[in-house]
Chains A and B, each alone.
Chain A
């Protein structure tokens, strides 16, 4: 896989700066500070498929597709205060920021409970197609945390670039409060400074009245023009969408441990639009999961129903899966079906079955292969095969 960003020179310069920093850091930071090793992982996929397009020619394809990725970053972790510095290419989340960056990230918490993080660099988007990213991204977060009780943070994020309009400039707030043991309140709000509007807000009340039961209820609100920022976003062009639409979601999730290894999961989500098109909808989910073989394996069965104002948005979904892991081998089966209320391209049903077999060759090397059959409104017949090799190298962090 290659990185499609334009402009090599600034990246090279940033890389040199990072390398210099790496060399200087041991001198800058006191002895108790320690470094994590370079993190490097690679996944290679060989994909091939053969398909027939619905309602048209019986074209068959058999391309071979290789996909290789590898990221490397270096992280310094302080023994106390979660103080850290990351350099290189890394994914980070901090307040409203959830980015992949070629750059630097620095965070520390002071004895008073106040803390600060700073980040900056060149944003990364991984795509074979030419996706333009911003030229630079930077910002930070100020926060206050009190152990076991609350954390509140304020974020600033700026991404400069050619975005068919304004730069991306977001101000955000995040909140976690646990006033007493079984209750947690989480909140997040993002203000789009480029459009001068609240882009998104989300609040969740999480309850754990018993060890075996967890419940979350939440509210989310966003509007298109502030969240998506530009009416020129390509997803809004065809079919045309009303850029002034606003969405309000109310949701609830329940996780209940029925017996050892057997869990019931229930979810309801009500989606309310300001506009008649696309209209409102409600999705209800019910699922069961059973873990066995010392929890190495899981079987699951779930069903979902979406009811909506408009027939074109209604469907039913059923899914079942199971895994079996004898020793270093792993076998899985996954089946999914959709039934649409209104036919799509004259077809009301979609099916997909995925079978997989894998072998853990070494502790850090696994090879596996999948076979997939799909029938959908798009494909009357679609066979796909995939061979996967996963290699994890040189990390002091967790490995899954």
Chain B
């Protein structure tokens, strides 16, 4: 069953060799790092960018970090992470998307009350209500498979 994983690795090598860089779009990629140090707080790309991101192929206006964007950020990230990555290190994403780490995101970042981190308060109590009403919101991290975090209480 692990053969598939290795097949993908081999396929990736083959794809890289076959396609190389000649069949790649000539549109500029998103730079790996934002060329200027960004100010603190929620980012508003429109302060400097009025056009369309050549890498993400979407207007910078789409990425203004309003609460609207933050709540829907997954819909954008699933079409490409490169624009996110130019400002956010991988550890930023994994604060929440770390898959069942023992510390809750809001505990890991207790010094960032300004961020929309899940599980604030005594969430062992609170999840009884939120999880009952909208379990799909739990699924993204505590989804199917053998979730030991759920199983520790739900036996």
Contacts and interface: CB of A to CB of B under 8 A. Distances in A.
Given A131-B147, A147-B52, A350-B121, A73 B90 contact: yes
Main secondary structure of the interface of A (DSSP, over half): strand
Nearest to A203: B75
A233 B144 contact: yes
Interface string B29-71: 1101110001111100010000010111111011010111101
B82 A82 contact: yes
A79 B15 CA distance: 18
Contacts of A113: 25
A151 interface: yes
A138 interface: yes
Contact of A147 (B34, B54, B64, B90): B54
Contact of A80 (B17, B28, B139, B146): B28
A383 interface: no
A106 B16 contact: yes
Contact of A334 (B20, B59, B91, B113): B113
Nearest to A128: B102
Contacts of B56: 82
Contact of B144 (A118, A230, A382): A230
Interface string B121-137: 11011101101111110
Contacts of A218: 72
Nearest to B92: A400
Nearest to B75: A186
A398 B58 CA distance: 20
A193 interface: no
A96 B78 contact: yes
A300 B114 contact: yes
Nearest to B16: A28
Interface residues of B, number: 114
A168 B20 contact: no
Residues of A in contact with B, size category: 35 or more
Contacts of A52: none
A129 B152 contact: yes
Interface in A119-166: 119-122, 124-138, 143, 145-148, 151, 153, 158-164
Interface in B58-115: 58-59, 61-62, 64, 66-69, 71-72, 74-82, 85-94, 97-103, 107-108, 110-114
B12 A120 contact: yes
B71 A134 contact: no
A247 B29 contact: no
Contacts of B15: 106, 108, 116, 118
Contact of B101 (A69, A147, A308, A392): A69
Interface in A197-245: 200, 202, 204, 206, 208, 211, 214-216, 218, 220, 222, 224, 227-230, 233-238, 241
B143 interface: yes
Interface of B: 1-2, 4-9, 11-13, 15-17, 19-30, 32-34, 38-42, 46, 52, 54-59, 61-62, 64, 66-69, 71-72, 74-82, 85-94, 97-103, 107-108, 110-114, 120-122, 124-126, 128-129, 131-136, 138-140, 142-152, 154-155
Given A125-B99, A396-B32, 13 more contacts: A24-B13, A28-B17, A39-B89, A81-B25, A95-B79, A104-B12, A120-B5, A126-B100, A128-B102, A214-B66, A237-B154, A278-B132, A332-B113
